[in-house]
Structure 1
Amino acid sequence: MNTRRTFVASSVAATMAGPLLAAEGAAGTSAGTGRKTIETDVLVCGGGCAGTAAALSAARHGARTLLVEKAPFAGGIITSVGLPYFDGISNIGDHRVVVKGIALELLSKTGVCAPDAQVIKPHNPTIPNTFEFKVLLDRELQAQKDRLTVLYNSFACEAESSNGRIRNVTIANKDGLVTVRPKVVIDCTGDADVAAWAGTPTEQSAEVQPLTLHFRIGGVKPAKGIGGLCRESLVKAQALGELPYFYGPGVMFLFGKDEVYVHGIRVPANPTDAADLSRAEMQGRADALAMHKAWKRDIPAFADSYFLEAYPWIGVRESRRLIGQHVLNEKEIMGGRRFPDAIATGCWYLDLHPNKTTLGSANDFKPEKVQPGPYDIPYRSLVPQKIENLLVAGRCHSATRGAHASTRVTVTAMALGEAAGCAAALSLKNSTNVAELDGQKVREVLTTVNAGPFTDAA
């Protein structure tokens, strides 16, 4: 069986030079096509929270790794969407750190905590500067340049599989269409794009959670009860037909004394449909500007304010999910089920946003009623059916919609990515397929680098 899906796309490439493209004939021109070809041990598709951790992990464990990312920088939702929170790094109850490894390492390098922190308050710490975080990720990726090549402004647009293996992945960038021949692929696209194109089972709910665009406004005067005033203004704007939906809103002075960071955009859309995603991007920008205009009109604190920026991409909460060797479900996470092959720990509440306006609370659930204790995520939730050399990490891993509402957040995605990178390198060392790899062995290796599950830590 040969599965092939083709897209034509164009983008600009920025390559971090490394030996991957030159060593042992790794790069060349494919006869008959004129395309450049790249051979690599591990291909990581997507450089968001999961993909960055996966690439670092695979390279640090000795695998020749290629990371492709459609933005001109890594970091995903933190840098492209502007969400500055390390959600899921510590338990909401006792604030015990439950995700260490690369996630804790990165957070400590922003100055938020110590490298060996055991307790972090609050449970969703804020990094001080999202631009500096981009540079931090650049530096960490460049530190692995002997084994890691990064292609920004590049994205996977085709996967070819036969006899249960991905043979080639086509990426698009300034070099044109480039054929990558990997031994192992890690799908960190967020949308399970590569998994779907390769023919492994995935699912997507008929209605998914709404998309959101974060933005910043400068020249705002701090005022008592400003959040409530902003909410009243948006209710008015919606009644006037100026704003279709919103939530919250969250209006916070995070980065400056006169600058507010806002999350309150709510756009229903299908993020795996190119036209609908484009419509959502345009709607998000229009809504952000409409919010600012309403506040400038209605609230004295915003009288001299100015729109600073909307982050470059609208944020996607939910799309495709893998149907893997194990589908993690709500009962398992709410019950704190333990798995012998656990490779990560989750602890976020079931954060499921509706496609309608909600005031104050971001969603229709009360967190205290849907707040699990720390729970295990098994290796099998990263392993697809049918394809033996593919792993899926980040929010598109194998989970039910309800469980995914907890596992989709930033730090949990980093933990899953780190585990996938470790597993990919381990499979190559052991000359086995990632689909047949013993998850307990992955867990053991993660433990040696202070990563993996921490549900039973003191």
Structure 2
Amino acid sequence: MSASGVQEIPVLWRGDVLVVGGGSAGCAAATAAARSGARTLLVEATGFLGGTGAAVLDTFYGFYAPGRSDRVVGGIGWELCERLFAREQAFERPNTYGAGTGVTYEPEALKLVWDELTEEAGVATLLHATVSQVVMDGDRITEVVAETKAGSVRLAASVVVDASGDAEVAWRAGAALERPDGQQRVQPLTATFRLGNVDLAATPTAELHRLMREAAASGEFALPRTEGSAHRTVLPRVVHTNMTRVSDVNPLDPWELSAAEREGRRQVHEYVRFLKARVPGYEESYLLGVSGRIGVRESRRLVGEYVLTRDDVLSARRFPDEITQCGAPIEDHAAGSSTIWQYVGGDADPTGLTYGVPYRCLLPRDVAGLVVAGRCLSATHDAHASVRSMAQCMAMGQAAGTAAALAASSGRPPAAVDVTDLRRALEEAGVLLDQPSSARVDGRVSQ
């Protein structure tokens, strides 16, 4: 929309950097931008920060590469983890499938710590606000329109960071995107759930999966996925599960997404019925809650200055403009009842190798004043199945926020930011851009 078409809408905020989406990428982006001296606003559609990390999941992956004990991601994301560790609201645990050590946390604590990190940095936060329009001056975004309880408002900034997950801003601005349609489906959706009063030690994971296959084959239970995780949490005898699978859904179609939410809840209760009936340790368990929304792994993806590819991942490719590294395997859930895992380096087993994520993957080719972060980055379906890990989303967010602040202060577009300056700023902020040399101490990582 042109600037002349929204003149009647009041301006609620004007500043340097506007971040849309308060999930892992957006919170890190806003914190980084504000710490870099930019007047920053973070806009989130729900009533809390943390996004999928708070509403659906309870474990961060991507801080470690499978097959090695040192971290490959630091910066704001690791600072977040350290605060959670200090409050005994997180711990590290191995991953069943070799995706690398994960950091399991209490979602309610995560919301609070993100509040603290953003507030301490000086971020202004606008909750319960949904972006509905963008205002363009030629090919450059100048403002967005958000819907609030007070009606439509305009938010103006020198640079916008799209960390919405679904590339809401990039889509509305007309950026080139890959998106699901009738022929191109994306990864399945998942509703997670928590159970109380569980003796998790009574049934090892391999036996749980055997019982799943047996129950599904019997016809007594409708279990679309016959593997998945049930892991311990910060809370005693409480387990978090990632088992359900809602396939063949376009998460951008409002009817299909609505149906997927209902199907996810139906599957949750079927898996609970199975666990209580067939799995030792779950006999007296009870459902504590279902994820606040269904988990979406993939929707719109930017077609940016560079498109990260499957070959980049499997060949462990490095880039001169990389702003983070990743060792997570390609984790493709679009495989019937199981999941396909392919490790960096192309081997069938974890290698410990990492690849780089270029800054160009965050830059649209055709929209100025915009940088993206998180799962809407520029990557193919296969590469996306690796790089979408939470730690990488936070690292991309930190890079995007830092770049946005540099661009705003210099009056240049994000694409013109000097990558040497950006990488230097990231390293000074604790981002691990080269192969790290940290060592594990007492079950934690110390640099």
Note the 1:121-200 alignment, pairs <5 A.
Answer: 123-145=100-122, 148-200=123-175
Q: Which residue of 2 aligns with 1:99?
A: 73
Which digits, 9 at most, give the CA deviation of each residue in 1:347-385, with x for residues without a partner?
A: 111111115212xxxx12354527561111111111101
Using the TM superposition, give the Cα deviation of residue 132 of structure 1 relative to its aligned residue in structure 2, in angstroms: 1.0
- Secondary structure at the aligned position of 1:216 is classed as strand
Provide the rounded CA distance (Å) in 1 between the counterparts of 2:202 and 2:159: 54
State the 1:315 CA deviation: 0.9
> What's the counterpart of residue 398 of structure 1?
378
Residues 3-31 of structure 1, C-alpha deviations (whole Å, 9 max, x = no match): 79x9xxxxxxxxxxxxxxxxxxxxxxx86
Deviation at 1:88, TM superposition (A): 0.9
Q: Who is 1:214 aligned against?
A: 192
What residue number does 1:313 align with?
293
Deviation at residue 233 of structure 1 after TM alignment? 5.0
CA distance in 2, matches of 1:426, 1:330: 31
Q: Which moved more, 1:368-377 or 1:151-160?
A: 368-377
Selected match of 1:409 from 389, 394, 410:
389
CA shift in 2, pair 1:380/1:230, >3 Å: closer
Structure 2: distance between partners of 1:349 and 1:312 = 27
Contact 2:223 2:271 in 1 (8 A): no
Contact 1:166 1:390 (8 Å CA) reproduced: yes
Matched, 1:273 2:253: yes
Pairwise CA RMSD of aligned residues?
Answer: 2.6
- Cα contact 1:388–1:436 (8 A) shared by 2: no
Say if 1:445 and 1:302 are closer, same or farther in 2 by CA, change over 3 A: closer
C-alpha distance in 2, partners of 1:129/1:173?
Answer: 29
> What is residue 27 of structure 1 aligned with on the other side?
none
Instruction: Report the Cα offset of residue 219 of structure 1.
Output: 2.1
Distance 2:226 2:133 in 1: 36
> 2-side partners of 1:452 and 1:58: how far apart?
18
> Is the contact made by 1:234 and 1:291 (CA closer than 8 Å) also made in structure 2?
no
SS in 2 for 1:38: strand
What is the aligned residue count? 421
User: 2:398 matched to 1:423?
Assistant: no
Deviates more, 1:151-160 or 1:392-401: 151-160
TM-score scaled by length of structure 1: 0.85
8 Å CA contact retained: 1:252, 1:261 = yes
Classify 1:257/1:326 alpha carbon distance in 2 versus 1 (closer, same or farther; 3 Å).
same
The alpha-carbon distance between structure 1 residues 197 and 244, as it changes in their structure 2 partners (threshold 3 A), is farther
The CA distance in 1 between the partners of 2:76 and 2:20, in whole Å, is 18
* Alpha-carbon distance, 1:193 to partner: 1.4
Of 56, 71, 79, 2:54 maps to: 79
Query: In the alignment, residue 365 of structure 1 is paired with which amino acid?
Result: W
Q: Is the 8 A contact 2:81 2:103 kept in 1?
A: no
SS of 2:331's equivalent in the other structure is coil
User: 3-state DSSP class of the match of 1:220?
Assistant: coil
**Matched-pair contact (CA < 8 Å) for 2:45–2:128:** yes
Give the structure 2 partner of residue 26 of structure 1: none
Q: Which runs of 4+ in 1 moved over 6 A?
A: 119-122
Is residue 288 from structure 1 mapped to residue 279 from structure 2 by the alignment? no
| Other-structure match for 2:8 | 32
Residues 289, 398 of structure 1: alpha-carbon distance in 2 compared, 3 angstrom cutoff = same
Contact 2:189–2:296 (CA under 8 A) maintained in structure 1: yes
Distance 2:280 2:427 in 1: 54
Contact 1:89 1:99 in 2 (8 A): yes
Q: Which runs of 5+ in 2 are unaligned?
A: 439-447
Find the residue that maps to 1:302 and give its secondary structure: coil
- Mark the CA change 1:244 to 1:204 in structure 2 (over 3 Å): closer, same or farther: farther
TM-fit CA distance, 1:41: 1.1
Q: Shift of residue 445 of structure 1?
A: 1.4
Partners of 2:208 and 2:436 in 1: CA distance: 44
Cα contact 1:103–1:411 (8 A) shared by 2: yes
**Structure 1 stretch 436-445 or stretch 211-220: which is displaced more?**
436-445
Check the 8 A contact 2:59/2:105 in 1, yes or no: no
Quote the offset at 1:175 in angstroms. 1.9
Q: Deviation per CA, 1:231-281: give whole Å up to 9, x if none.
A: 525753575475361241312233344322211010111111122111111
Residues 199-239 of structure 1, C-alpha deviations (whole Å, 9 max, x = no match) = 11010251110011111111224453354347525753575
Structure-to-structure mapping, 1:46-125, within 5 angstroms: 46-81=21-56, 83-111=57-85, 123-125=100-102
Residues 54, 422 of structure 1: 8 Å contact kept: yes
Contact 1:107 1:127 in 2 (8 A): no
CA contact (8 A) 2:305 2:364 kept: yes
1:351 equivalent among 327, 331, 354: 331
Distance 1:457 1:420 in 2: 25
- The one-character-per-residue Cα deviations of 1:300-337 (angstroms, maximum 9, x if unpaired) are 53332211111201111111111101111122232222
Decide which of 326, 341, 346 is 1:365's aligned counterpart.
Answer: 341
Partner of 2:444: none
Per-residue deviation, residues 21-45 of structure 1 (Å, max 9, x unmatched): xxxxxxxxx8634x45321211111
Q: Offset at 1:449?
A: 1.5
1:132 maps to amino acid: A
One-letter code aligned to 1:209? Q
TM-score (norm 2): 0.87
- 3-state SS of paired residue (2:234): strand
User: Please, which of 224, 228, 243 is the counterpart of residue 245 of structure 1?
Assistant: 224
Counterpart in 2 of 1:11? none
Structure 1 counterpart of 2:112, which letter? V
2:203 matches 1:225:
yes
The answer to whether the 8 Å contact 1:112/1:127 transfers is no
> C-alpha distance in 1, partners of 2:296/2:144?
24
* Cα deviations by residue, 1:31-65 (Å, 9 ceiling, x for unpaired): 634x4532121111111110010000000001111
